[in-house]
Amino acid sequence: MTINALIVAGMVPIKRERQLPFHGEILVELGENVHPEDIIAEASIPSQLQVLDVAKALGLEPSAADNYLVRDVNEPLEQGDVIAQYDGVVTRLVRMPVNGWLVAFDQGRAYISTDAVTTRLQAGMIGKVEAITPGLGVVISTVGSLLQGAWGNGLVGSGLLQVLPTHPDTTQEDAVDDTSIRGHIIAVGGSCQREQLVEFTLQGVTGLILGSLSPELVPFVKDLPFPVIVLQGFGELPIDSIRFQLLESRSGSIACINACGGDGFSGTPPEVVIPQPGGEYEEQPDFQKLAVGQLVQVNSGQHRGKSGIVKELPEASVNFESGLEVPSATIHLVSDDQLINIPRRNLFVIG
């Protein structure tokens, strides 16, 4: 069975393709080191159009006016620049009325764009430009820790990683008060309330890694000025020790959050990349098939959000409380040391 997978890995090669939605300009060079917020490519389309009736101004038929254009299409021009000239008894000139680009010349009329809508592509991670597709995009690569998540608020950022304590006796307010978090990427084991999110904003964090999030807070989080990634899902989910042990082990390192979620069709899920250049790594195994021994996240029932190991993939379907009889997997929960059955479609492979 083909299944969904989220990568949580201590040391892996990471390669990401960034592509413009349409043809534009690549702003980096092969081998260049980039940071998450760096603009690596941009593409513009004309905006704020104006039309100049060149044929009329030259006193010519529209079809004849083409011959007297003295500028190239897409050429940037300044106010006053001559764009057409007719040397008759009296020389007639047509000048640019504003700063802009000549974007088209059609039937004696010049179309001028005075502005442009520009799409900019950010690197989204620290790494090296490994390949360039001219006009379209680049491939960035690095080696390090990778944690993919379930949801992101669409922003990109980086900073020193700081993991807030998840001990039951320590509230997040205490942790926030006691520690300087300005400019840091903060990782919180559980979820956050609105007040805590406001506090993080005031303290000037540059990114937030959450275990889970109440879906009611999604519109608020989408408006925050820094990237937020939710690793496990929506609701009050139990803290996932595997992910947070990995984050704790990388505390103090530079972490990059790319919280631009995949579109479900082709995109990469939102992710945290913690580069460890020069470190030894293992190739990422193929997670296309669910298999015994894999680490998985449970996404339904009372154990939703917990992780465990696949112990068995029974041949026979299992009848669940809902009355649905479907293929299941037997999971050994890491935190509870117990075996449970979960519908296979409700699992994400992590690892």
Partner 1 sequence: MAVEQVHSSILGLDIGSITTSVSLFGVFNGKFQLQNIGTDLTSLGAGQVLSAGVIGAIQDLQKQADRVLLSPNPQRHVEVDQVRQSVDQISLAASFGPDIDAVLLGLTSHGSLFAGESLIRSLPMRLAGSFGLADLQDNFGVLDQLIHLHPKIMILTGGENMGAEASIQQWVEMVRLYCALVSSSLKPRLFYAGNPSLQNLVQRHLEPVGGLQILPNLQPAFGELDIVPAQAAVEQSIIQAWQGMIPGFSDLVNAAGKSVRTKAFLQDRMIRYLSKAKQAQGGDRPQRGVLAVDLGARRSVISAAISSQTGTVVQPTSMEVSDLTQTSTVSLVRQWTAASVSLSDVHQYLATQILMPARIPETFNDLAISQAEARVRLQGLVKELSFHHPWFSQHASSGIPGLFEPIILSGRVLTHAPSPGQAMLMMLDGFQPRGISTIVLDRHHLLPLLGLLGEVAPLLPVHLLASDVFTNLGSVICLDSPAPNGNLLLSLKVQAESIKPYSFEIFKGDLIRLVIPVGDSVILECSPEENTDIGLGGPGIGGQIKVTSGLMGVVIDARGRPIDLPEDDAMRVDKLQGWLRDLGGLDVIDSRGDV
- Interface residues with partner 1 (CB under 8 A) are 1-4, 22-23, 45-51, 103-104, 106, 111, 117, 150-151, 214-216, 218-219, 222, 233-235, 262-269, 288, 299-302, 320-326, 342-343, 345-346, 348
Output 111 or 281, the one with its CB closest to partner 1: 111
Output 139 or 160, the one with its CB closest to partner 1: 139
Output 293 or 323, the one with its CB closest to partner 1: 323
DSSP structure string for 83-142: EEEEESSSEEEEE-SSSEEEEEEETTEEEEEEEEEEEEEE--SSEEEEEEETTTEEEEEE
Output 33 or 214, the one with its CB closest to partner 1: 214
- Smallest gap from residue 17 Cβ to partner 1 (A): 10
- Smallest gap from residue 321 Cβ to partner 1 (A): 5
C-alpha distances out from residue 8 to 23, 264, 268, 298, 347, Å: 34, 19, 14, 15, 15
Output 145 or 232, the one with its CB closest to partner 1: 232
- Smallest gap from residue 184 Cβ to partner 1 (A): 26
C-alpha to C-alpha distance for 16 and 140, rounded to whole angstroms: 5
3-state secondary structure of 244: helix
Output 88 or 264, the one with its CB closest to partner 1: 264
Farthest-apart Cα atoms in the chain, separation: 97
- Smallest gap from residue 217 Cβ to partner 1 (A): 9
- Smallest gap from residue 199 Cβ to partner 1 (A): 22
Q: Which two tokens stand for residue 287?
A: 């997670």
Short-list 341, 186, 331, CA closest to 272 = 186
Tally helices (H) and strands (E) across the chain: 6, 26
Scored b (16 or more CB within 10 A) or e, 277-294 reads eeeebeeeeebeebeeeb
C-alpha to C-alpha distance for 273 and 292, rounded to whole angstroms: 27
- Smallest gap from residue 201 Cβ to partner 1 (A): 18
- Smallest gap from residue 187 Cβ to partner 1 (A): 20
- Smallest gap from residue 212 Cβ to partner 1 (A): 10
C-alpha to C-alpha distance for 51 and 210, rounded to whole angstroms: 52
Other CB atoms closer than 10 Å to residue 140's CB: what's the count?
27
C-alpha to C-alpha distance for 30 and 35, rounded to whole angstroms: 14
C-alpha to C-alpha distance for 255 and 40, rounded to whole angstroms: 19
Output 292 or 324, the one with its CB closest to partner 1: 324
C-alpha to C-alpha distance for 12 and 205, rounded to whole angstroms: 27
Output 159 or 261, the one with its CB closest to partner 1: 261
